[in-house]
Amino acid sequence: MGDIPVGHKIIVGFNPQPGLIDSIRSALPGEDLEIVTATDDEALAQALPGADILLGLRLNPDLMPLASSLRWIQTISAGVEKLVSPALVDSDIVITNASGAHAPQISEHILAMLLAFARNLPTAYRAQLNADWDYDTIAGGSFELEGKTLGIIGLGDLGDAVAVKARAFGLDILAVRNRPTAKPAYVDEIFLPAQLPELLSRSDFVVDTLPLTPNTRHMLGAAEFSAMRDTAFFFNAGRGGTVDQEALIFALQSGAIAGAGIDVTDPEPLPPESPLWKMTNVIITPHTSGYSPRVRERFARIFLDNLARFHAGEPLANVVNAAAGY
């Protein structure tokens, strides 16, 4: 990181949780720290001069001329599509994300949706609302997970967490990864992106954990849903823009796939007129999979660890390739 000044001016770009500011000061005891909260562009414009650290989610490109002292941005999410701009890519500012803070709860959310379909809980809930003891319909639509195949598109921290938990249910795990690397013990086969059609055709469940980048936008469209089995279920807790939503709707309406569990949509919020709302083979949650009472605790650990590294001039963890978008 080069020569680091003794003091730091840190901008917190959101309303900090109780104790965060004190934790920042405790991480660098005795150091001269100026910590400013700036939750909108006007406040950020006033705070940026002289600041070397930004803790937040966004930096308006129009404010880049004021960020001449900025050296590091720590985001509060794994995705950086709302932050990265051409001006930021061209700068020397290091970006780190919160990868790892959300994987435990998002992976549980995905498995909850998968189990809900396996045990036909959406049908059971609708029957419950009508006081209908519909044993034949509910039992007849249930199935087991053991021995089936789960395909994961994007084997990062979140994909890893899904794989580990799914493996415990006896599922065979296939995964697409950008680069050829050693296969983890909890994954049966690794595929490169060009082999995605094979993974889709062999999977009973497909999980999309991709970040949104220019290369992943609408990566899953009509051809990909056509490659899936008509008994397969699709799950997305990555980014809504990685899916051609009209193609997903058609696949669900036409029976090309059996169902979908979606926590992210494009756009968000999902418009009330979207056909997805009324489909009985769809589970929708409003981008809540990343929430947990413990997520702020994990995020704080990531930031405080990186703050100590930054102050010591050591390499940071979770560095983002701004040009690639992840």
Distance (Å, rounded) from C-alpha 34 to C-alpha 7?
8
Distance (Å, rounded) from C-alpha 276 to C-alpha 170?
30
pLDDT of residue 6: 54
pLDDT of residue 3: 46
Which position among 31, 34, 268, 297 bears the catalytic label? 268
Q: Which residues are paired to 96 by β-bridges?
A: 74, 319
Does the pLDDT of residue 5 top 50, yes or no? no
Q: What percentage of the chain reaches a pLDDT higher than 70?
A: 98
pLDDT of residue 180: 84
Does the pLDDT of residue 292 top 80, yes or no? yes
Q: Which residue has the higher pLDDT, 246 or 179?
A: 246
Helix orientation angle between 121-129 and 103-118, rounded to the nearest 10 degrees: 70
Asked about 287 being catalytic, the answer comes back as: yes
Q: Which helix (H) or strand (E) holds 159?
A: helix 157-167
pLDDT of residue 4: 44
Does the pLDDT of residue 137 top 50, yes or no? yes
Q: pLDDT tens-digit profile of 78-97?
A: 999 999 999 999 999 999 99
Does the pLDDT of residue 76 top 60, yes or no? yes
Residue 285 is encoded by which pair of tokens? 């949650």
Does the pLDDT of residue 287 top 50, yes or no? yes
Number of H helices and E strands in the chain, helices first, is 11, 12
Which position among 287, 296, 298, 309 bears the catalytic label? 287
Which 8-state DSSP code applies to residue 76? S
Q: What is the largest CA-CA distance in the chain?
A: 70
pLDDT of residue 260: 99
**Which parts of 4-129 fold into alpha helices (H)?**
20-27, 41-47, 86-89, 103-118, 121-129
Asked about 217 being catalytic, the answer comes back as: no
- Mean per-residue pLDDT for 267-272? 98
Q: CB neighbours of 135 closer than 8 A, spacing ≥ 6?
A: none
Domains of the chain: 8-101+293-312 (3.40.50.720), 103-284 (3.40.50.720)
Does the pLDDT of residue 228 top 90, yes or no? yes
Residue 88 is encoded by which pair of tokens? 């930021």
Residue 267 is encoded by which pair of tokens? 């756009």
- Mean per-residue pLDDT for 170-175? 98
Asked about 239 being catalytic, the answer comes back as: yes
Q: pLDDT tens-digit profile of 12-26?
A: 999 999 999 999 999
167-170: list long-range contacts, CB under 8 Å, 24+ apart: 169/111, 169/145, 170/145, 170/146
Does the pLDDT of residue 1 top 70, yes or no? no
